[in-house]
Chains A and B, each alone.
Chain A
Amino acid sequence: MSASIPVEKARKLTRKEKREIDSKNRLASPVASLMAVVIAVFWTIPTAGLLITSFRPSSDVRRTGWWTVFVDPGFTLKNYADVLTTSNVTNSFFNSIIITIPAVVIPILLALLAAYAFAWIDFKGRTFLFAFVFALQVVPIQVTLIPLLTQYVSWGLANTYWTVWLSHTIFALPLAIYLLHNFMKEIPRSLIEAARVDGAGHVRIFFQVMMPLLVPAIASFAIFQFLWVWNDLLVALTFSAPEYMPITAVLAALSGSYGSRWYLLAAGAFVAMVVPLIVFLSLQRYFVRGMLAGGVKG
């Protein structure tokens, strides 16, 4: 790729290299760090406000903003108690898990296979097909709701978990295939060829050469998909049977038909946020790495 660089040490730096060094310096400068901190603080203020609100008594929430707690503190756990004793919340929390795990695993499995084929198996119409899959990303979810539900009803799948699993899989596949394909393409051809010379077939190459290298990409997409499915409301409302509704749907109903209990929403949001937070924090080191590796290069 860049074997010629060490040979001509004395030559002036190319413009590209200069820019690389430049940007490295810029990223490391104290001004940039300060900016990053300022942005992070601003970004966090609304969430912090929500967290504080979730602990305030309903009468305070109604009368004053959350920032007034600093001069006039008043906290309660009643909101959380109310949320957790709402009948469907615990049930829907497990529903969310049951919905999310397969809706993350299925698209990754399928996308891995498809991406491998697109990246390393030569077949007729490969470029066209890949462009087609890639282009599917522009189809808005909303357009597909009624036709998809009609299909599920005629296949007899309505009111099972399958409707939600399949829908999330369908909506995730184009991006998943694209990201994983780009990542696989990055793996040097020589590596694959070496394995092939040693007598490895596609299956062996896939599991023994590709998989270890793909872990960050898979993890990053898994986080991405996990957050998307966990936070999804539209797909669940449309396809899910009433008894399988995830926590987002229950939260949406929490405030009551006439909005009389909207002060519970802040507490409800944090209850729903716990799982994605754990997932994100435990996998975040893959997230940035995987996104950079898979997403930017073509």
Chain B
Amino acid sequence: MDRFVFLTLDGLSRGAVYAAFALALVLIWRAARVVNFAQGAMAVAAAYVAYSVASTTGSYWLGFVVALAAGLLLGAIVDRAVMRYVDHASPLNPVIVALGLVLLIQAVLGMIYGSEFRPAEAPFSRGAFTVGGLAVLSPYDLFVFGAVAVVVCALAWIFARTAVGLRMRAAAFAPEVSRLLGVNVGGMLTLGWALASGVGALAAMLVIPTELGLHPHAMDLVFVSAFTAAVVGGLDSPPGAVVGGLIVGLLLSYVSGYAGSDLTPLAVLVLLLAVLLVRPGGLFAPVAARRV
């Protein structure tokens, strides 16, 4: 029983990060109908910026803020400088461009910072509180939950309650009509990329201290898990991304804890098949969606 509680809490804290990263994927998918394979590399780039700032100024929080800003900026740049010019006639074209960006960003990071692991600082202790001899969550885990919760709520608020959010939804849902109604569709798209990239940067800042450290490839595996999470939840659904992230986090934790870590990829495949064969559009897909 102790082990079950331990694995559950460990899986949830990891799942929260997957949820944030999956949310970033969902944001871009909803805005631009693109699965952004460069999300991981872009987020790592932002985390490296934070590393540079934090190591020169000595302030984690300054680096943290700069990372979020760098994430927003990088998203806008990728949209304005590259994605805008991609022929979207085939949905594969942006995917290939994104993969090209992955290679480019990782290579540039490798040139600037080398391929060593850099220590990633955690702003709070990662030592767990013990309750009755059982290690439960650490202050850092609470910080992760809090940060992800704030982001989820903020995004929900932006999309549901603000004029900008309404315009963004309109621009994504019906670009032509929105343009006729005076919405700056291109600008909304850029804003969508920036927001998503900012959320991705946040996820990277949260997860890298719990992994091997800062490295050009630090988010590769997280990307795979987060993409799985987004697909399980349904790429059109932000709540789906959050639930999907938590499910994937728990699954990985239980399988490595009870069965062996080499079986985790198989478990992920089984989860995907089990969910998608019943609901081909993910858990939170609108029921009435009939594709033509």
User: Is A bound to B?
Assistant: no
